[in-house]
Amino acid sequence: MDRLRQIKQFVLGNFLFSEDESALADDTSLVRGGLVDSTGILELIMFLESSLGIKVPPEDMTPDNFDTVLAIDDYVGRRLATA
């Protein structure tokens, strides 16, 4: 499974209790849209660290980095590239 799909499935399952990929567009705002709050972002970060092999430093914990599935995938890509 590609990385973006893995991230999307986590978001769908953890925050929407769904496996239906049409329920969430890749550019849907999670934070500003009210689906994910700060506790939710910390859950998301735990998932990224345990499943995708990155470490998220505190200074990267901005809402923008985690606001959409696309943004999350882009952020993970950048972290992996600099690791």
Residues at the interface with another protein (CB under 8 A): 31, 34, 37-39, 41-43, 46, 58-59, 61-63, 66
Q: How far is the CB of 62 from another protein (least distance, A)?
A: 6
Q: Which is nearer to another protein, 16 or 46 (CB)?
A: 46
- Within 8 A by CB and 6+ apart from 7, the residues are 48, 52, 69, 72, 73, 76
Q: Which is nearer to another protein, 39 or 82 (CB)?
A: 39
Q: Which is nearer to another protein, 21 or 37 (CB)?
A: 37
Q: How far is the CB of 21 from another protein (least distance, A)?
A: 25
Q: Which residues of 44-77 are buried (b: 16+ CB within 10 A; e: fewer)?
A: bbebbeeebebebeeeeeeeebbbbbebbbebbe
